[in-house]
Structure 1
Amino acid sequence: MQLTDQNTFTLQGINPVQLLEQYGSPLYVYDGATIRRKVNELQHAFSGINMKIKYACKANTNLSVLKLMRSIGVELDAVSPGELEMGKLAGYSGNQITFTPSGVPFEEVKAAVEAGSIVNIDSIPLLEWFGKTYGNTKPCMIRIKPNVAAGGNIKIMTAHADSKFGISVLLLDRIKEVVAKYDIKIIGLHQHTGSDIKDAEPFLQVADILFEAAKQFPDLEILDLGGGFKVSYLPGDAVTDMELLGNKISERFKTFCNEYGRELQLWFEPGKFLVSEAGYLLVKTTVVKEDPARNFVHVDSGLNHLIRPMMYGSYHHILNLSNPAGESKPYNVVGYICETDTFATDRNLPEVRPGDVLAFLNAGAYGLTMSSNYNTRLRPAEILIDNGAAKLVRRRETLEDLLRTQIEI
């Protein structure tokens, strides 16, 4: 992202407003240079150890984004058969895709195993089924729930005691009993703490728990600490100090490997961290409504395209690309859905006029992947800018797309 001397917002020298004029509004735009930068940042932070990045592709499954990830050496973490298939379509082999389900039918796990993926076992019943089905003929990992609460809010915390994810570390003896009973081949332990974790301490806390649990399994090859690194939501926002975190975790990981007797591979599964800052949702203002209580800016999008502010209370910085030097005024920025779909409340923006183009920042993660056709609205197109070129990577939906699976009677 750049602001020129004329205060014009550009991505790799390309003006997003011109993209909106060409491809229509609303429009998702992704900056490949930002994705590359975030991958490099993580690689640099853990350069002293044997580390692998597994992109949590639920954040953004556009095939062109997945292909970009593959081209820079990032593998995948999938949570569904659909994501697994998308990864394969993007050129990944099955063994480059980790399958991390949550209470799914056993048939989905079987399909992932047959595709060559390593499965993260998330429950005792699944561990029992896996042992009965495969014995020691197929490797797997176990997702441990460390009972640590950390993250932006309760909806995105995944490691606390009340979370549905993983097998509680308090059940370690039961895990070992099932593993021994079926001689299951455990090659890794996994955990994922949550999202938007700023401080290093929660990562270190869960790392220590995972390292201690790992001592109970003699044949490990992998320890997976998940993701959850905090991204920047507004100028000057506090983020995870990746260099500090990398140094501290790397030091403890090396100590663990020495105690364990051999070097293991350390995995991370960032999703939002890699793609959030790369994404922009461009919208057009339809109505500016002055009300005695509030000034409302209505835009041609809503919770059907970006539900995170309504679902999580997430903050998305907003730019007025059409009038960046206008007088600052407070607005409620709202969508066109027949629900309360407020993007921002009392947000100071340069004066917004009907027809102005606004940009929602940090929209690269959980935007289109969480979108819907509510109110029979169509999903927007997607553009990827990489190496200075803007390419259409998903066309805008049509009514025919919505009707294709319906059957008239």
Structure 2
Amino acid sequence: MNIDYKALADKYGTPLYMYDFDYIENRYTTLKDAFAGKKSLINYAVKANSNLSVIAHLAKLGAGADCVSIGEVKRALTAGVDKYKIIFSGVGKRDDEIREALEQDILLLNLESEAEMKRVEMVAKELGKEARISIRVNPNIDPQTHPYISTGLHENKFGVEIDMAKRMYIYANKSEFLNPVGIHFHIGSQLTKIEPIRESCMIVADLVRSLKAIKIDIKFFDVGGGIGVVYDDEVTIPAEVYTQAIFEATKGLDVTLLCEPGRYMVANAGAFFTKVLYEKVNDGKRFVIVDGAMNDLIRPSLYNAYHKIEAVLKEGEKTPADVVGPVCESGDFFGKNVPLPPLEHNDLIVVHSAGAYGFTMASNYNTRAKAAEVALQGGKDRLIRQRETYEDQVRLELEYLEK
């Protein structure tokens, strides 16, 4: 990306998130083309980056939405995603959320337990509606990724095992208020090896064959998301290799193939800008203190995640430095022992690959305002979320303040 980082930082201030919409479009097109010749739907995982303009951009390209809260369902609808392209997933759904999803008539609800299925049936009965559902199957395949983003093993909280899934499908198929139209699995995030995906596809496809044999007509085969991206030196899975594994597993099945990419679409479309406040040295240990913090981008602190960090328009001998923010936590850092040239007040630092799980995981910890967000498209920049103010933060509290 040939981007004038300094001009953007000067125009919009820091901390700042920037997303390259042309890059996002290219990623969507690449993946969609890899599904050519097959019935398919790409459901963007809203949790990765839930800015309305990001969702709307993908919706215009034809994407659906994978949502894990009723708030994300509302965001998708607000951004213009077709209701029949929206999936509502997640381990815990309240009755009012189930009710609203059914009233919105979205494509389906993805269920993760027998207890949840019974709640959905009850709410559907109250509404006099038939709930289209899929069931998240846990194939018990090691995704070979970070344990915090592994989701397909029995030790994880997600999905149900094969035998339980069969019982749930048989129950749902007999129910007047449930219509089991889909099957789903998702073994983890930031996957860089095809074999776990291939194995999971084969296991779940065999389950679909056994369900079809007893007249349970599964129409949607949802392989989840999790395709890895490059943060450092990862070797990632080409889109054609990914889809070919899915094609092989589902050969002979008349199903629409669904996938739920999030990070794949937006991670490397985004960058986080932060300005240097000052440097300090403690007994030979160098710190670069910046105006961004863990409340803006928590991945390094939460996962010890690596992000490439560079100083913009600065020369000089590079020495190791911890890039840290103003939050009162030892975990408030973007990188440790990062080679950087000497830096001064107001010098600009860019944290790369920040388009996924960046702003969407931001908080107001330490009463810090959330950053602004900017889109780049066709060589032009535009604001897509204004910088939060103190007044925005306290708005819901002020009227209850006793004086």
Fold equivalence (TM over 0.5): yes
The alpha-carbon distance between structure 1 residues 68 and 173, as it changes in their structure 2 partners (threshold 3 A), is closer
Pick the aligned partner of 1:221 from 219, 243, 247. 219
Structure 2: how far apart are the matches of 1:110 and 1:167?
23
Pick the aligned partner of 2:158 from 149, 156, 165. 165
Indicate yes or no: 2:273 matched with 1:276. Answer: no
Pick the aligned partner of 1:285 from 276, 281, 288. 276
The residue matched to 2:186 in structure 1 has which SS? coil
Contact 1:151–1:195 at 8 Å: present in 2 too?
no
Indicate yes or no: 2:56 matched with 1:98. Answer: no
Q: How much has 1:354 moved relative to structure 2?
A: 2.8
The residue matched to 1:167 in structure 2 has which SS? coil
Structure 1: how far apart are the matches of 2:78 and 2:144?
33
- Tell me the amino acid that sits aligned with residue 204 of structure 2: L
Structure 1: how far apart are the matches of 2:272 and 2:361?
14
Q: How many residues align?
A: 390
Contact 1:198–1:241 at 8 Å: present in 2 too?
no
Contact 1:132–1:182 at 8 Å: present in 2 too?
no
Pick the aligned partner of 2:112 from 122, 133, 155. 122
Structure 2: how far apart are the matches of 1:342 and 1:67?
32
Structure 2: how far apart are the matches of 1:39 and 1:93?
17
Pick the aligned partner of 2:138 from 129, 134, 145. 145
Q: How much has 1:54 moved relative to structure 2?
A: 0.1
The residue matched to 2:118 in structure 1 has which SS? helix
Contact 1:288–1:295 at 8 Å: present in 2 too?
yes
The residue matched to 1:244 in structure 2 has which SS? helix
- Which residue is 2:335 aligned to? 344
**What TM-score comes out, normalization by structure 1 length?**
0.91
**What TM-score comes out, normalization by structure 2 length?**
0.93
- Tell me the amino acid that sits aligned with residue 161 of structure 1: H
More deviation, 49-58/104-113: 104-113
- Which residue is 2:61 aligned to? 72
Q: Deviations over 1:147-167 (max 9, x none)?
A: 122143110011111111112
Q: Deviations over 1:254-275 (max 9, x none)?
A: x241xxxxx2110000111101
- Tell me the amino acid that sits aligned with residue 369 of structure 1: T
Taking the TM superposition and a 5 Å limit, the aligned residue runs for 1:363-378 are 363-378=354-369
Pick the aligned partner of 2:185 from 183, 191, 205. 191
- Tell me the amino acid that sits aligned with residue 384 of structure 1: A
- Tell me the amino acid that sits aligned with residue 228 of structure 2: K
The residue matched to 2:137 in structure 1 has which SS? strand
Q: Deviations over 1:294-315 (max 9, x none)?
A: 2111110111000011111111
Q: Deviations over 1:139-186 (max 9, x none)?
A: 211111111221431100111111111122242343244224425311
The alpha-carbon distance between structure 1 residues 63 and 151, as it changes in their structure 2 partners (threshold 3 A), is farther
- Which residue is 2:194 aligned to? 200
Structure 1: how far apart are the matches of 2:348 and 2:164?
53
Q: How much has 1:101 moved relative to structure 2?
A: 2.3
The residue matched to 1:215 in structure 2 has which SS? helix
Taking the TM superposition and a 5 Å limit, the aligned residue runs for 1:177-326 are 177-183=170-176, 184-218=178-212, 219-234=217-232, 236-253=233-250, 255-257=251-253, 263-323=254-314, 325-326=315-316
- Which residue is 1:405 aligned to? 396
Identity across aligned pairs (percent)? 33
More deviation, 306-315/45-54: 45-54
- Which residue is 1:56 aligned to? 45
Structure 2: how far apart are the matches of 1:256 and 1:291?
65
Specify every segment of 5 or more residues in structure 2 that has no aligned partner in the other structure, as ranges: none
Q: How much has 1:42 moved relative to structure 2?
A: 1.1
Structure 2: how far apart are the matches of 1:115 and 1:370?
26
Root mean square deviation of aligned Cα: 1.6
Q: Deviations over 1:334-380 (max 9, x none)?
A: 11100021211111123333321000011111111111111111111
The residue matched to 1:404 in structure 2 has which SS? helix
- Tell me the amino acid that sits aligned with residue 47 of structure 1: A
